[in-house]
Amino acid sequence: MSREFKLSLVTKGRREKKMIHRLLTAVCALALVLSFSFSATAAVQNVQVGGDIEVKGIYQSAYDIVNEIEFNNVTVYDNNGFGGAADNTVHDYLEQTVRLYVDASLTDNVEAYVRLIYVQDWGMVVNQDDVEVDLAYITLNDIYGYPFSLTIGRQELMYGEGFLVGDGVRPGAVDSATVYQYDTRKSFEAIKAVWDYEPHQIDLFVAKITEGAAVAPVAAAAPVAPWSNGVQPVDSDMDLYGINWNYDGGMYGLWDLGLFYNRSNIVVASDGENQTWALSIRGEGTIPQI
């Protein structure tokens, strides 16, 4: 039984000099490669390589809650823009995802993880050869002998089984069918600290969703969507902060209590920024037989 709710409350000639410079560069590069190879061989205790291939079909029809959104008498969203009447809007296509990862244990307490991803809608020719970095982070475990870990880099965040925090806003690949909520990529550039003291676990994280551009503020004629590549206001950062307490009560269920805060300057507000607070309480378990 699972219940969940949300409350929004970076002195030789010229020719001889060139030859010597190239030679020194080559020697330094070779020494660097040899040094790196030796260090990697000595430090890496275990390396795992794996991946997966997924092909999925997506069909949607009249899936938007609203057909049109207006702001200051200007239409900023029109569901008809997908190419048909709003009630007949249809998306149907096949999407293939290929992922390859390398998981390396550098020492007993240091782990590095890198995963590459290739996403392509069948039949699309735009950017069909693009391979991108999906995840890239380093985890430090048992810091100073305590059950405390720190993960830094591009990583996945999942809270409330993804209902509250699990991406869902970041756009898909530029060669996808624009239904970004079905994109396999669910990563954040974030720093996450975890205190794991069974049966309790406390997560504290900060994530950078969007980095602002130093351009003129957007006019108040229309808001700018978080996934838009258009002109953003000055300091148009979007940051996500969160703390989540998890308790494994065994036969009494699994419980989560989380508090999340999203600060966004992307949409121009009267006070210069938009803030959203969310409180999450979630419990799941098995009702014992009577």
* The predicted structure's pLDDT at residue 62: 62
> With 60 as the cut, is the pLDDT of residue 100 above it?
yes
How many C-beta atoms lie closer than 10 Å to residue 38's C-beta?
10
Q: Is residue 149 part of a domain?
A: yes
Q: Is residue 18 part of a domain?
A: no
How many domains, in total, are found in the chain? 1
Q: Using CA of residue 192, residue 197, residue 198, residue 201, what is the dihedral sign?
A: negative
Which range among 29-43, 232-246, 252-266 has the greatest average pLDDT?
252-266
- Name 87's bridge partners: none
Half-sphere exposure of 150 (CA within 13 A, CB side): 6
CA distances from 94 to 88, 128, 283 (A): 20, 14, 35
Which range among 13-22, 211-220, 273-282 has the greatest average pLDDT?
273-282
- On whether the pTM is more than 0.85, the answer is no
Q: Which domain holds residue 120?
A: 2-9+43-284
Please indicate whether residue 87 or residue 246 has the higher confidence score (pLDDT): 246
* The predicted structure's pLDDT at residue 129: 65
| 131-172 confidence digits (pLDDT tens) | 888 899 999 999 998 999 999 999 999 887 777 787 644 544
Q: Which residue type sits at 224? A: V
Q: Is residue 36 part of a domain?
A: no
**Tokens in use for 277?**
């607070």
Whole-angstrom distance, CA of residue 195 vs CA of residue 147: 6
Average pLDDT, the chain: 72
3-state percent helix, strand, coil for the chain, nearest multiple of 5: 15, 45, 35
Using CA atoms in the order 15, 17, 20, 23, what is the torsion angle rounded to 10 degrees?
-70
* The predicted structure's pLDDT at residue 121: 82
> With 70 as the cut, is the pLDDT of residue 14 above it?
no
| Residue carrying the six token digits 């899936």 | 63
Q: Is residue 25 part of a domain?
A: no
Q: Is residue 99 part of a domain?
A: yes
Whole-angstrom distance, CA of residue 151 vs CA of residue 138: 6
- pLDDT band of residue 206 (cuts 50, 70, 90) is very high
> With 70 as the cut, is the pLDDT of residue 270 above it?
no
Please indicate whether residue 113 or residue 214 has the higher confidence score (pLDDT): 113
Please indicate whether residue 286 or residue 1 has the higher confidence score (pLDDT): 286
- pLDDT band of residue 181 (cuts 50, 70, 90) is low
Q: Is residue 268 part of a domain?
A: yes
Q: Is residue 257 part of a domain?
A: yes
* The predicted structure's pLDDT at residue 182: 58
Residue 8 CA, distance from chain mean position: 22
- pLDDT band of residue 58 (cuts 50, 70, 90) is confident
* The predicted structure's pLDDT at residue 115: 93
Q: Is residue 218 part of a domain?
A: yes
